[in-house]
Structure 1
């Protein structure tokens, strides 16, 4: 019996080059896991800055959940309820003021474009932050405004504020150290919607716990409309964050979760492929160990020992690097719009420890299959030659590959008639099945493709050698082509899905409208009524209404100009959920807190929103409602206050919408991470295959090949294999994208173009080719360079020992 630890030490000595790729992969994976774990634990809600100096907040009652990925504000209080609450709160001992937070959409127009914050408030709410007046005086009447000093305007200057109805003239009366703008409290009450938060200021020496209890009793006794209000203090005030910030945090959670899953999955995949390749290269070595008396258990422990050593070192280093880069990554997420501006990294030890444990587990999991394969090596394997890679295909691999490819093609065909809610999942499953199937069948699929590519330049000796070498070493060829297949297939699939979906939405929106251009916001979150009228366009006005019967559940609503003021149209699924029928009179609360009773005119199966009501009704009760975009007959290139017209083709490319920008950034982030891991996998494969190629290059040199020809043959083989993997990547993605296009065309009712962003795809393919050829050349020829240096030093030392030369030397 042989001892396991001495065996492991002997095998690790001199074998570190084959483990560098796994170590780097696990290190990078742990960096991603550590940084994302810290960012995920730091992504909780924060107390809004505008309430930083308010010890107590009274928040309107919470509504029923809006659904996964959907965020709606709490149902607002009506003006009558707010007055009742303010009176009850100011009578509480220890309370100095109760300030309703009234807000409405307004932006300062600077240089013809909106700039600065998107909301205006009454001046009294500045004390909740607190913000202070640094110049001039507060606003006291309509038409007066206080701005942030960062805008560079002086008191007394005229200024234009863009509101939901259109531009309005104001005069600057003062400057504040806060963001602004602030108007008089009377004008905020007139232009603002409902109130969701009331800030409660208390005396400096008051007992905060006692005041909070008294405020809670005052809220419960203020009336039926206010009795369910929430009293927030300390960290609980973070619950008052805007729904927009909560939605941004949710998007950031999806990005961070996807990065963590991708980092963990690719780390396991790369470690598994590395150890599988190492076991195949060392079959003779393991056979010698078995012949010397090593048991299968000891062979498994050797593989696990290597994985544990690599995982411990890589995970520790990666966790420390993740802690260092987390703040920078957080800043990038805030800049890109994946996290709100209040986001900051909180350093805690638990996420870092979990990342270290996950990195070690990823290393052991990656070595699981390889350890079993190594344990099955028989002693007679020591007498066999595996230079060509052995038998690449097994019965299980054949069956799994064929089933995966057949299933992927079937899913791609079925996605052409899939439902909207399952289309993306079907396409992703089809692509994953095709990737897995072609990866398993790579030893069978690659030789004909390599032969076909090599035939085009088979006349030169270099091309012939490259093709023959790639077809002979099938395992090496498949291992090199697999990461290229993954990178190119993933890039084509994800980027094509995003761009094709954007084009489908534009086709659906413009179908039958005869639109010449699209009116989109320019520096504003939406379109004002004045911009829409100037562009001669019309579009529904979105808002949110609340079901007064079913716990204030939020409903997505659209304002349509073809309905009367007391009528509404209801979607079939919304009517079913709420028990509504045609002719029912339903009480709905609006954004100003007031309740309106509307009669259901018709129930539609394909309604554009849950509720469709009169546009005038929406504007009367939601003074801040903005139109996202509108198809107009005006030509592209025209500019209006806070809006401009662009061509339908530009809008299809998603260059104007913030949502498309975030989705595209998210897409490029995932593509970048996957392409980086693919590059690392290519380098790792070339490092491990260098020992086999060294013998090939030595044979070339002995048969008369020049160093330049040897370099060209090695680079040509790497480029040939990488190009074949890129072709297979396209073959994986295109069927899935064609199925998705067919499904989107069926939903849009018109032809949908298949949009593939070729610059991004070309960049990934070029990067794979450069990495493959460079790493293959460097790692294969480096032993010859070091050998030449040793021979040179030996000759020089001999000459120094024999100086001065003897007659025989002469």
Structure 2
């Protein structure tokens, strides 16, 4: 059989499969390039230094990305002396970043992230050239060098916010580049902990030899970085952003692969149904089942090669634009770039061809079983809509989805989304496989109310749907998948966000929440005039494994007054006094392992390690911080820490627009508003992520629904002729087609909503158990309604318009 001739003959029917494959392979190619060859560049601040030492990472907790464990002042001094003694080393510079932000025009100025709000010691300018534009380097504690674009000139005064509060400086000079530079002695006071040492070389020194000597000196607490490895110096925020981007890319690629197989398999399966007489004729003239299967595989192979080649080309060309979009939306850090490696497009091409062959497998088995006698039939009715294997696979998938939904009800919060996605994939797969089984009963139930009012049209809709189960199910499947994905993704994310916000606001007793405005946090000066519970935020590293844990410095009495349902496993926060005490959550205690005593080692931001006595263990639902310390204790070890929030309990509220508060970067909002504001950035990323997924599934739905209905319409001209000969007007025929299409979309919406229910209920039960408070099931109806309207519009356009065109040549 001539495969090319067959494809030319069925070009319109296979166009949807080809486009689906092209789209899926394009997404997979771009995703693979971004994931496997993309990365952040060497931070510009360190680009001028060929050899750098970086402190070793501790152990990050799930979902957290902490900076490496800092060296203590003693260890820093030792490393500086040993490195300086290596031949070829001119100078060793300790990089000491700290929070700094100028106040201009009565308000803090500067960008949201990066060096625009960071200060350093003057010696750090040697790590990446920041040449003086005017003036001189700072020489006294009250002198500072600033970015020339900031405005102040040498000799002028400037107010700079630090963690302690506003401080007056005299501008000693201006530099080309963002940031603030003070004397090294002043930087040592503000940032005693060091994580990066830059090794400056003498002229003619071999960086490789110096790096090798440095590695011999480094212990387990230091890494020597050269060349491209210096990209590891990107801050924790960039690593977290890259991790989020990786999850987006993996999910998009997985969704694209899943739906591509679904669409292509559905198209081939429906194609076999529409070609039953043709395939039966092949059997009549002597083709055996193996030849029929090989013919379909040959079609799929050629289709896969064409679609994969086009998809790979589009993916390679579109990867840079996709990378830019990910950076702009916050899913990748600034400076993220990709490199095209030939083996990746080649591998994706092979995957694309394999996907087409896998998708046609079930259809080819069904085609091989066609009886030659079917060539004599004038009409084909789907008497057996699905086979035994498909029925078993569908039931198994639905059962697996139910099991995953049950698991999400008992999973930890960090694992719930994974189980929810597994529930979605399994449930949607099962419902798609079993879709033909659910066609006839709903068809009769949904058309019964319209039978008296609409009459023959409702009867025709019902009988057509029941007689052409394969066509109906092929159209229902993509609608089902789209609605299920939209409901699951938006419902799970919104339910989780609202649950955490409701829990935080319900368990906090305060008149208001004082938060930062235009700054990354509140300074001590901003907190001083507010009565309430202030949470001084930092990171500590617990135990020998140096487990990175979010820590808060608190006033125990104020903390207890503002936090309701503060469940204590043991101990009391009243004992959280003095520099040798600590309170931990139950999960932090479990992560530390079996302790021989009620004490544990903690390493602070200044690099010093102390053994602290555990005076209280809190239930994890009590607070999001894994460690609580007395505020003075945390401040003594982290001069650069900023306060997250002050839950105000007494005194006057901060008036919006108050000049003093504005200059300190302070404003007051409601407690509930703060609970939602705390996750505002994550919620924004989730909304963008949801939009990407909805757009992807909607695009596939357009292809699948449109292609299926176009294939069906091409073979229904004879049906239309019979209806016209029976006395039906063109309008009645078109109303019948529209009714069938609307019924199919409604059925897909109903099944998609039912598929989403187990996952939503599982997430709600899991969150309720984890938080200990009732959880509302939230489904954003705007995106769901938009998806339904889109599906219906696409389906009606793909069915009614071709039918109307076909009716022009049909005489009554």
Determine the structure 1 residue equivalent to 2:487.
Answer: 492
Per-residue deviation at 1:650? 4.5
Is the contact made by 1:27 and 1:314 (CA closer than 8 Å) also made in structure 2? yes
Per-residue deviation at 1:781? 3.5
Instruction: Please tell me whether residue 737 in structure 1 is matched to residue 753 in structure 2.
Output: no
Residues 526 and 478 from structure 1, CA distance in 2 versus in 1: closer, same or farther, beyond 3 angstroms?
farther
Is the contact made by 1:518 and 1:636 (CA closer than 8 Å) also made in structure 2? no
Determine the structure 1 residue equivalent to 2:283.
Answer: 290
Runs of 4+ residues over 6 Å off in structure 1: 634-637
Give the match's secondary structure for 2:301: helix
Quick one: which of 607, 614, 621 aligns to 2:630? Answer: 614
Determine the structure 2 residue equivalent to 1:212.
Answer: 211
Residues 208 and 770 from structure 1, CA distance in 2 versus in 1: closer, same or farther, beyond 3 angstroms?
same
Determine the structure 2 residue equivalent to 1:31.
Answer: 26
Is the contact made by 1:404 and 1:434 (CA closer than 8 Å) also made in structure 2? yes
Is the contact made by 2:420 and 2:759 (CA closer than 8 Å) also made in structure 1? yes
Quick one: which of 234, 239, 243 aligns to 1:241? Answer: 234
Per-residue deviation at 1:124? 1.9
Instruction: Please tell me whether residue 202 in structure 1 is matched to residue 201 in structure 2.
Output: yes
Determine the structure 1 residue equivalent to 2:339.
Answer: 346
Determine the structure 2 residue equivalent to 1:671.
Answer: 694
- Measured in 1, the distance between the counterparts of 2:681 and 2:103 equals 20
Quick one: which of 566, 573, 580 aligns to 2:580? Answer: 566
Determine the structure 1 residue equivalent to 2:567.
Answer: none
Determine the structure 2 residue equivalent to 1:47.
Answer: 42
Give the match's secondary structure for 2:715: helix
Residues 664 and 13 from structure 1, CA distance in 2 versus in 1: closer, same or farther, beyond 3 angstroms?
closer
Quick one: which of 373, 396, 411 aligns to 1:380? Answer: 373
Instruction: Please tell me whether residue 107 in structure 1 is matched to residue 130 in structure 2.
Output: no
Is the contact made by 1:102 and 1:188 (CA closer than 8 Å) also made in structure 2? yes
Is the contact made by 2:49 and 2:198 (CA closer than 8 Å) also made in structure 1? yes
Is the contact made by 2:505 and 2:675 (CA closer than 8 Å) also made in structure 1? no
Determine the structure 2 residue equivalent to 1:802.
Answer: none
Is the contact made by 2:494 and 2:779 (CA closer than 8 Å) also made in structure 1? yes
- Measured in 1, the distance between the counterparts of 2:631 and 2:306 equals 64
Per-residue deviation at 1:289? 0.6
Determine the structure 1 residue equivalent to 2:364.
Answer: 371
The 10-residue stretch of structure 1 (70-79 or 307-316) with the greater mean CA deviation from structure 2: 70-79
Determine the structure 1 residue equivalent to 2:561.
Answer: none
Per-residue deviation at 1:132? 1.8
Per-residue deviation at 1:746? 3.1
Alignment TM-score, normalising by the size of structure 2: 0.88
- Measured in 2, the distance between the counterparts of 1:26 and 1:233 equals 42
- Measured in 2, the distance between the counterparts of 1:481 and 1:110 equals 61
Give the match's secondary structure for 2:52: strand
Residues 52 and 252 from structure 1, CA distance in 2 versus in 1: closer, same or farther, beyond 3 angstroms?
same
- Measured in 1, the distance between the counterparts of 2:653 and 2:796 equals 50
Determine the structure 2 residue equivalent to 1:128.
Answer: 127
Determine the structure 2 residue equivalent to 1:323.
Answer: 316
The 10-residue stretch of structure 1 (452-461 or 267-276) with the greater mean CA deviation from structure 2: 452-461
Residues 526 and 426 from structure 1, CA distance in 2 versus in 1: closer, same or farther, beyond 3 angstroms?
same
The 10-residue stretch of structure 1 (615-624 or 326-335) with the greater mean CA deviation from structure 2: 615-624
Query: Structure 2: which 5+ runs fail to align?
Result: 557-575
- Measured in 2, the distance between the counterparts of 1:169 and 1:701 equals 90
Is the contact made by 2:121 and 2:182 (CA closer than 8 Å) also made in structure 1? yes
The 10-residue stretch of structure 1 (569-578 or 687-696) with the greater mean CA deviation from structure 2: 569-578
The 10-residue stretch of structure 1 (319-328 or 139-148) with the greater mean CA deviation from structure 2: 139-148
Quick one: which of 698, 712, 719 aligns to 1:696? Answer: 719
Give the match's secondary structure for 1:13: helix
Q: Could you give the per-residue CA deviations for residues 481-529 of structure 1, whole angstroms, max 9, x where no partner exists?
A: 1111111111111111111111111222223323454444434333444
Quick one: which of 212, 227, 248 aligns to 1:255? Answer: 248
Per-residue deviation at 1:175? 3.1
Per-residue deviation at 1:396? 4.8
Is the contact made by 1:248 and 1:338 (CA closer than 8 Å) also made in structure 2? yes
Query: Structure 1: which 5+ runs fail to align?
Result: 1-5, 221-225, 792-810
- Measured in 2, the distance between the counterparts of 1:390 and 1:34 equals 41
What are the residue-to-residue correspondences of 1:171-210 with 2, within 5 Å? 171-210=170-209
Determine the structure 2 residue equivalent to 1:623.
Answer: 639
Residues 552 and 775 from structure 1, CA distance in 2 versus in 1: closer, same or farther, beyond 3 angstroms?
same
Is the contact made by 1:135 and 1:176 (CA closer than 8 Å) also made in structure 2? yes
Per-residue deviation at 1:602? 3.7
Instruction: Please tell me whether residue 65 in structure 1 is matched to residue 67 in structure 2.
Output: no
Q: Could you give the per-residue CA deviations for residues 68-118 of structure 1, whole angstroms, max 9, x where no partner exists?
A: 543332221222333343344334443222211001122334563542223
Alignment TM-score, normalising by the size of structure 1: 0.88
Instruction: Please tell me whether residue 588 in structure 1 is matched to residue 602 in structure 2.
Output: yes
Is the contact made by 1:516 and 1:636 (CA closer than 8 Å) also made in structure 2? no
